Structures are given as structure tokens and as C-alpha cells.
A and B are shown apart, each in its own frame.
Chain A
Amino acid sequence: MKCIDKNILLDYLNDVLSSRKKKHIASHLSECGHCRRELEKWKKILDITQEFVDQDVKLNPVPPHAHITQRFSKLPQNDESSFWVRYWVKPAIATASLIFIALMVFFFAPKTVPELTENYYVIDNVTYTETISLEDRYLDNLETLYLQEIYENEELTYDILYGDWQNYEEVLNDLDHDELEELINKMYDNEIT
């Protein structure tokens, strides 16, 4: 039975995995001493790091300056919405959005990969575009690539470093420790800081 990758163990400790994956890992841990020790190692590092951070936070208490809070408290309250907005427009919008959501669920639910959605922010008169990426569950369907390809293709290495490395999760899971070490070293070499 193959061992669990280090970064997956880290995800496991951070509780960011699906329940299916968590179950799989828990059952592997129950029968593999090597992975249990590896998990203990990460846990210890996370604990030490958290302890360090907590101390650091305690040492640097910075309450908001009075001139900042005063400004914010002087901001005018929002006007109460008018009769028509409250009793007609809002319920109408609510109904319309419910219908819209229902339609979306109907059309897009069966196993299609959703379109990327974009949000816009305006800060200092500059518009920022944010792309909400695919959720983890859609990543399972994406094709996996072979190690050789990852080694040889700089773009892929870049992708793993800065992009959706989880696409290659299955490949990473199959690596033994030496191979993984080699891959990580290669990534470090390519890293732009």
C-alpha cells in the first residue's frame, strides 16, 4: 500500500480535505507506522510554529488609533429603504434569484465543469479582476501526468510551483521519497524569489 504524500498530510492536519480523503488517510494511518511518524513530525512543527506566532501576537498589540476609529464612527448611517424597495423590489429580486439559481442547478449540476467566474473590485480607482477557480472536486476529473513529463517540462514545474499542483496529486502520491525529494529540489531550483 502506497504511503501518503507529505503535502497531503499537511492538508490533513489543516483539515482542508474532503471527508472521503480524510477517511482514506485515517485508515492508512491506522496501519502504517511510517506515515504516523511523518504526521507526528508535521504536527510538532505546526504546534511550534503556532506557539511562536501566539507569542509574537501577544508582544505586538496594536489597537486602532483614535483618529481612525473616530473617522469611521462619523460615517453617516445608511438610509432606510423606501416602501417600494422594502415591500416590492426586494421580494421580486429574491424570487427572481431563486428561479435563476434553480435553473442554474438544473442546467449545470450533472457533472459539468463550471465556467470560471469573475469578480471585480475597485480600489483607488483601479479595477481588479478576481478569478474564482475550480473547486477541488472538479480537479479529480482532470488528467494526470507522468513524472517524466513533469521533470522535462519547465512550464509544468512552474504550474506545480505556482499553479494547480493538486492536478498532479495522483502522480505525487505515487512517488517514493527519493523521487519526491528530487522533484522538490528541482522546484526549489526553479523558484523565483
Chain B
Amino acid sequence: MDSIRLNQLIEENYQKIFLLALKMLKNYEDAEDATQDIFLKVYENIKSFRKEAKFTTWIYRIALNHIYYMNNKRNKEISRFPEAHEMRTEMNANPSSVLHEKELFVSLENVINLLSPRQKEVFVMRYYNQLPFKKIAQILGKSLGTVKSNYFFAMQKIKNDLQNQNLLEFQE
């Protein structure tokens, strides 16, 4: 793979990986740090990588490994210093609260945070990263059926939540 093509792939994937990290870690600064670390890992391991066709799969695997690693590390820190964490969360309040349909967007953000990690990663890869289900299955090393069921239950939760809050009106 030549370096021009490689740079293109980095450009294409950087924002997507950042969004994945942001949704999984729920903190802007942590997500920025994680994304940089992930791409440094990609850089360090690039020589051991061979096939271009699976490049994104490979990046996503490194990303998810790192995100889960960071999350575990952070959870340990939080249990030791809970006050510091609360202050930080306050400062990094979600910027989407400025949106015109404020209520709805805040609500969706909340629902996403209620998804299980498995459901959340599938949801983010599907919606934020626009990956097809087959690719997601490859990245997670799961079957297509498993990924689809994770997605279905995520959507079911979102649907129920929107309906419970009367944010959707349907005539039955």
C-alpha cells in the first residue's frame, strides 16, 4: 500500500473512529486522546499489516480494543476519585443540547447511553460510521445474525423510549 493511499485511508477513518470513541467513552477529551493513541498504534503496527481489503476491519479492531482498555482503566480511576469525575463530566456537557429540537436530541443521546456496550458499538458503527452489517460482523468477529439482533434490540429500546416520552405520535 503506498503512502498516498494510506493517508487517504487515515483521513477517511479518523473522524469515524473519533465518533465511535466519543459515543463509547462519553467524554470529548478522552475520545480525542483515544483516537490519537489508536492511530499511533495503527502506525506502529502498519508493517505487520498486509491486505488492503481488510484495512478498515483492522483499524476498527485496534480501536475497539483500545476503547475498552481505556474504559476499564477509567472506571478504576473513577471508583477511586468519584468527585473528580463528576466535575469533568459537568464541564464536558454534550454540545448537542444547543439544537433546536433540543428535547428530542437530548433524549436520543440518553437512550444511546442506556444501550449495552455491544448494542452501542453496533449502533454507532451502523449509524455514525455507516458500515454495512457484514462489515460490522467481521470487525466484531460475530455472525451476521448476532449483529443484526444486537441492532434490533438497540432499535427496539430507542423506539420504546421515544414512545414512552411521547416524542413520537402514531395513530393506532
Contact = CB atoms under 8 A, between A and B. Distances in A.
A and B interact physically = yes
A55 interface: yes
Interface stretch (A18-26, A40-48, A84-92, A146-154): A40-48
A71 interface: yes
A112 interface: no
Interface in A20-73: 37, 40-42, 44-46, 48-50, 52-53, 55-57, 59-65, 68-69, 71-73
A98 interface: no
A78 interface: yes
Interface stretch (B41-49, B70-78, B79-87): B41-49
A124 B63 CA distance: 12
Contact of B104 (A41, A52, A161, A165): A52
B119 to A, nearest CB: 9
Given A55-B99, A193-B116, A45 B159 contact: yes
B68 interface: no
Chain A interface size, under 10 / 10 to 19 / 20 to 34 / 35 or more: 35 or more
Nearest to B154: A49
A56 to B, nearest CB: 6
Nearest to B126: A14
Interface secondary structure of B, over-half rule: helix
Contact of A52 (B105, B153, B155, B170): B105
Interface in B99-116: 99, 104-105, 108-109, 116
Interface residues of B, number: 63
Contact of B39 (A37, A68, A78, A124): A68
Nearest to A139: B145
A45 B158 contact: yes
B26 interface: no
A48 to B, nearest CB: 7
B3 A45 contact: no
B127 to A, nearest CB: 5
Contacts of A77: 2-3
A166 interface: yes
A63 B152 CA distance: 32
26 contacts: A10-B151, A10-B152, A14-B133, A44-B168, A49-B108, A49-B158, A52-B105, A56-B96, A56-B128, A57-B15, A62-B15, A62-B18, A62-B35, A68-B39, A72-B10, A73-B7, A75-B46, A123-B41, A123-B61, A129-B141, A136-B144, A139-B145, A161-B153, A162-B146, A163-B143, A167-B145
Interface of B: 1-3, 6-7, 10-11, 14-15, 18-19, 22, 28, 32, 35-36, 39-41, 43, 45-46, 48, 54, 58, 61-62, 65, 95-96, 99, 104-105, 108-109, 116-118, 127-128, 132-133, 137-138, 141-146, 148-149, 151-153, 155-156, 158-159, 162, 168, 170, 172
